[in-house]
Amino acid sequence: MDEPTGGASAVAEPPRGPSRTRLLLSLASVVLLADLVTKLIVVATIEPGEDIRVLGGALYLTNLRNTGAAFSFAEGFTVVFTLVALAVVVVIVRTARRLFSTGWAVALGLVLGGALGNLIDRIFRDPGFLRGGVVDFLSVFGPDGRIWPVFNVADSAIVCGGILGVVLALRGIEFDGTRSTGKDPADTA
C-alpha cells in the first residue's frame, strides 16, 4: 500500500537541509585568525619567560614555546604531532561534504581552526620545518603554568570542539543531523 506524501516510510530519508560546510569553514577561519593574531602580538610584545599579571592574578600572559603535545607532553615527538595534525585537518575537510548538523559543524570548525593554528607554528617556527615550537601564552591562576599548563587560543578551541563532539556523540547525533537510535533491530535476531 502506498503511503501518502509526507508520511513515514520503512526507510525514510532524513531531512537534510543545507550543508553546514560554510559554517565549519567560517568558524575555523575565525579561530585561526584569532590564534594567529594573538600569537603575533605575544611574540612582538612579551619577552620569552616574562609574566604579565592580569585579572588580579587569575590570568598571566607569558611567551613560551611548546615543542610537544598538549601540556608539553612528549616533546621529542614534534614531527609525529605535526603529521597527526595534518591527518586531522584532512579528515575534517573530507567530512565537511556530508555535514548537515550545526553542532558537528561547530565542533569540527573549532578543532580545524585550532589544529591549523598550531600546525602553522610547527611548520614555520624555530627550530625548523615540522619541528617548530607552538607559541603558548595563557597561564591561569599562576605564572608559567605552575597551576595549569600554559595554552593558547588554538588549544582552547580544540578542547572546546572536542568536548562538544563528545557530547554530540553521546547524544547520538550524526554528522548528517540525524539521531542514532542505538542498536539496529536486525542485529537482535
| pLDDT tens digits along 87-100 | 999 999 998 888 99
- Pick the range with the lowest mean pLDDT from 22-36, 81-95, 122-136, 171-185: 171-185
Which amino acid is present at 20? R
Nearest residue to 115 via CA among 160, 72, 74: 160
Q: Which residues are catalytic?
A: 136, 155
Q: How far is it, in rounded angstroms, from Cα 26 to Cα 17?
A: 18
For 6-59, write each residue's pLDDT tens digit: 544 444 455 566 789 999 999 999 999 999 999 999 999 999 989 999 999 999
If DSSP states are collapsed to H, E and C, what string results for 39-103? HHHHHHHCCCCCCEEEHHHCEEEEEEEECCCHHHCCHHHHHHHHHHHHHHHHHHHHHHHHCCCHH
Q: How confident is the model at residue 75 (pLDDT cuts 50, 70, 90)?
A: low
Structure pTM?
0.82
Residues 6+ apart with CB under 8 A from 112: 24, 25, 28, 31, 88, 89, 92, 93
Q: What is the pLDDT of residue 132?
A: 86
Predicted confidence (pLDDT) at residue 3 exceeds the cutoff of 90: no
